Structure 1
Amino acid sequence: MGVGKSTVGALLAERLGVAYRDTDADIVEAEGRPVAEIFVDDGEAHFRGLERQAVQAALAEHTGVLALGGGAILDDGTRAALAPVPVVYLSMNVTEAIKRVGLNTARPLLAVNPRQQWKQLMESRRHLYAEVADAVVETDNRTPEEVAQAILDALELKEA
């Protein structure tokens, strides 16, 4: 979270001349309320179910750049569905996260002790991100434009 998926995804789609889609935005549109509100009102398990459905629909319907929420890879089926498509893991350290999002309570999974929560989330998820990723791109101290270019470079090297 806060790594720049939405910003970088839109830039990447523009450079590639394809459409951009974000599964969190799909959920917000379908539910008519923000992700944080879904978490608070209905719980994480409910949100993860919505997320699973949104990812499945997006993978079936969309052929451009797709940004997934940070927890989407927690689902085994989602990880399996990502296997045939190029996946890039945008990584960031906790210091960079603080700079970008302030680790504030507007993010439901960071409501208590944000720095520690962020570290725990990353420790529990990092291996899953690496499992599905065709490329890992560091975002620390990079502009969104630099990250988009690094993604293009990483995917070209992978295909060569």
Structure 2
Amino acid sequence: MIVAAQGPVAVLIGPPGSGKTTVGRALSGLLGRSFRDTDSDVEAEAGKSVADIFVDDGEPHFRDLERDAVTTALALHDGVLALGGGAVMDPRTQEALEAYGRAGGTVVFLDVSLAVAAPRVGLNQARPLLLGNPRARWQALMEQRRPTYERLSTVHVVSDDRPPQTVAQEIARALPTQVPKESRA
């Protein structure tokens, strides 16, 4: 099997605290590919942090920026791509990820338990959807999002209490044979 002729070598999705950024960086290093995080793309476009976008402009504006960042990265990025935890809830983002998967792309659901995710996300104010009671909010978000993560993913990896490098190696083994960048159409 061969990866999609265009787009990322792998797209990482999952809840806050699953390790998308950390594992994504480890995977990109293993594969010799660049790493891209759509939250960083949104921050660069807006000129402010995700938390500030939520406060200043509201969640709907953030989700619009996020959808644009995801669709742009799916079209232009050929390395490892990490999506924000809620990005998959946008219907147009779901369509883009489904098309990417149908074209042979790999969507990895990084799964994590609440017990492991909670200390990772803590009371981090940079995660506006977890304000208040982070454990309860995380659990509610996960219950809402899990079916979408599972439906969109082509690979499911649990990151609980495992070193990022080990998780990255497991993902790398699950990737289809890669076409060198220069031979992509």
TM-score with structure 1 length normalisation?
0.93
Partner amino acid, structure 2, of 1:134: T
What is the rounded CA distance, in whole Å, between the counterparts of 1:68 and 1:104 in structure 2? 18
| Residue of structure 1 equivalent to 2:115 | 95
Tell me the CA shift for residue 105 of structure 1. 3.6
What number of residue pairs does the alignment pair up? 157
Partner amino acid, structure 1, of 2:113: N
What is the rounded CA distance, in whole Å, between the counterparts of 2:106 and 2:28 in structure 1? 14
What is the rounded CA distance, in whole Å, between the counterparts of 2:149 and 2:123 in structure 1? 20
| Residue of structure 2 equivalent to 1:108 | 128
Alignment RMSD: 1.5
| Residue of structure 1 equivalent to 2:58 | 43
Residues 105 and 114, structure 1, Cα contact 8 Å, conserved in 2: no
| Residue of structure 2 equivalent to 1:77 | 92
| Residue of structure 2 equivalent to 1:25 | 40
Following superposition, which runs of at least 4 residues in structure 1 exceed 6 angstroms of deviation? none
Gaps (5+ residues) in structure 1?
Answer: none
What is the rounded CA distance, in whole Å, between the counterparts of 1:113 and 1:78 in structure 2? 28
Higher helix proportion, which one?
1
Residue of structure 1 aligned with 2:162, choices 132, 139, 142: 142
TM-score with structure 2 length normalisation?
0.81
Identity of aligned residues (%): 53
Tell me the CA shift for residue 104 of structure 1. 3.5
Gaps (5+ residues) in structure 2?
Answer: 1-15, 178-185
Q: Determine which structure has greater relative contact order: mean sequence separation of CA pairs < 8 Å that are 6+ residues apart, divided by chain length.
A: 2
What is the rounded CA distance, in whole Å, between the counterparts of 1:81 and 1:74 in structure 2? 12
CA deviation vs aligned residue, 1:11-51 (integer Å, no higher than 9, x gap)? 11111111111111011111111101101111111100000
